[in-house]
Amino acid sequence: MKINDNMRFPHPILSDITNDYTKGSFESDFTITETENRSLKLTSKINIESPRLSELIQDGKVAVGYYLICRETFYDELHVSILGESEIIIPQGMLFGSVIIRPIAWTTSSEVDLSTLTLNPEFSVLPILAKGEIVALGPEYRFSMDPKKYKPLGSIFELTRNDNLPAGIFHVDTEGDIIRLVAEKNTFENIVQLRNTHNRNLLLGSIYLAALVDVLSRMSTSSNDEGKTWYRVLKAKYDELGLDLLQTTPSEGAQMLLKRPIQELFAVVEHMNG
Q: Mark 212-224 as b/e (b = at least 16 C-beta within 10 Å).
A: bbbbbbebbeeee
Residue 74 buriedness (CB in 10 A; 0-12 / 13-18 / 19+): exposed
Confidence of residue 150 (pLDDT cuts 50, 70, 90): low
Strands 134-137 and 97-107: antiparallel
Mean pLDDT of the chain: 87
The model's pLDDT over 44-80, given as tens digits with 9 standing for 90+, comes to: 999 999 988 999 999 999 999 999 998 888 889 999 9
Q: What is the pLDDT of residue 186?
A: 94
Q: What is the pLDDT of residue 181?
A: 95
**184: closest CA among 208, 164, 200, 214?**
164
Q: What CA dihedral angle connects 135, 139, 143 and 145, to 10 degrees?
A: -20
Which secondary structure element, helix H or strand E, spans residue 56, and what is its range?
helix 51-58
Q: Please, are residues 151 and 48 in contact by the beta-carbon 8 Å criterion?
A: no
Collect all residues with Cβ–Cβ distance below 8 Å to 7 and sequence separation of at least 6: none
Q: Please, are residues 196 and 253 in contact by the beta-carbon 8 Å criterion?
A: no
Q: Please, are residues 91 and 38 in contact by the beta-carbon 8 Å criterion?
A: no
* In 116-164, beta strands by DSSP E: 128-129, 134-137, 141-145, 157-161
In this structure, which amino acid lies at residue 140?
E
Per-residue pLDDT, averaged over 89-96, amounts to 84
- The DSSP 8-state label assigned to residue 93 in this structure reads T
Q: Please, are residues 187 and 168 in contact by the beta-carbon 8 Å criterion?
A: yes
Q: Please, are residues 21 and 50 in contact by the beta-carbon 8 Å criterion?
A: yes
Spatial separation of the C-alpha atoms in residues 170 and 187, rounded to whole Å: 8
The model's pLDDT over 111-138, given as tens digits with 9 standing for 90+, comes to: 888 887 678 777 767 778 889 999 999 9
Q: What is the pLDDT of residue 5?
A: 60
The model's pLDDT over 24-54, given as tens digits with 9 standing for 90+, comes to: 899 999 988 878 777 889 999 999 999 889 9
The CA-atom distances, in angstroms, between 116 and each of 9, 50, 130, 202 are: 18, 9, 17, 52
- The DSSP 8-state label assigned to residue 138 in this structure reads P
Domains and CATH numbers, the chain: 25-145 (2.60.40), 153-272 (no CATH)
Confidence of residue 1 (pLDDT cuts 50, 70, 90): low
Spatial separation of the C-alpha atoms in residues 160 and 157, rounded to whole Å: 10
The CA-atom distances, in angstroms, between 71 and each of 77, 145, 206 are: 11, 12, 43
